[in-house]
Structure 1
Amino acid sequence: MSAKLRALHYAVVTNNIDEARIALNVNNVNYIDPLEGLSLLAWSVTLGYYNMTELLIQKGAVISLCDRNGFQPIHRAVWTGTVEMVKLLLAHGADANALNRRNLRTPLSLAAIRGSVEIAVLLEGHISRAEASDVDARDVHGRSALDIAAASGSHHMVAHLLASGADAYFSRVCANEGAESARTWADRRSYDEINRLLCQSWAEQSQVTM
């Protein structure tokens, strides 16, 4: 890493907007840190630097650039739970249905793990307009966002995804697996509520298909 790139990287990770604005150009805006394998945009998104992220995008940062683990910046924004960051990336063309190259998880799958209904709503607003998008998209383990939410014990996310039309068939198995590892009565009650929601939805879906 040259001294100039080292200084630019430091400016980004320390959120020094003034230094970054001076140093950034079309040739270095997509620089990837060789140690962590993260682009400047990925660093900024992960650290929650909204203004820095906006600057990087203005300077030409590639929204869809994957890191060495197969994540795009939109995955990182969802995982950190920063709603405004997710909005910013989506507004500049981030793919709401982007697949992680290793595990095939979408941003919605990560929102399900985090239990963030607000972010799920944002993503679905863009997914509905994406070609061949699917709220029931499955990862490398065959699990959909609803399956993941059920296994994680997030009954609010389960309720939301069911309302969005997610298929509940396999999710009951995931909920039962999660319930077996519940450590507190509160966790157990959450899984009981998830099972109630899933059984109700499954019964309604079965009546429709009969």
Structure 2
Amino acid sequence: MPRDRDEPAAVRVYTVCDESKYLIVRNVPALGCGDELGTLFSTYGPLEECKPMDAEDCEEYTDVFFIKFSQVSNARFAKRKLDESVFLGNRLQVSYAPQFESLEDTKEKLEVRRKEVLVRIRSTAGSRTEGLSQYSLGQGSSSGNSHHQMSSNKREYTKTFYTSHMGDARFSHVSSNKDYFPSESMNATVNLVRQKLDKVRIYMLSTIFHAIATCIS
């Protein structure tokens, strides 16, 4: 749903399921400037599509464009930089459009995020290990027992994390079939996203668990 032109942008946090390589750009001047818009967005990464969405409702003298990036990371960067930016006198309104994703798109997106999380965990674990190694040099034989205890604590934390999240209702089921919006099309979009989330929820938990287990092993 497009926000009012005079309404200040709300601060919100996007999850990996909210983000997408598909973007919708509103409030584009109706001047036949699709090529210029595509050139602007392509500075943040390769584009696969940039086309007007004639069926979308929009304000007078403005157009709505559909943009597809090759990578989610490029779309994320472009949205952060171009949302609320001025283009040919109009302030652009850029939003993610995960409703256009296929199941393969969603799996690819989650796999990319899994790798990013794994890299960050390993980086953090490496820094902690280095600090523990330096500490152990000055602690003599007691360092071995300390390191063993910390490893045991990490394994116990991983087990607790996985068990608690598997039993958490927020992770085991994606909401109900309740309609949240007055618009039938918006409720259809919500239901579509629910179906995709139901299919990938186990995949998400297993990849997170695998990343943590790989880090501490």
TM-score by length of 2: 0.28
TM-score by length of 1: 0.28
Higher share in strand? 2
Q: Which of these two proteins has the greater Rg computed from alpha carbons?
A: 2
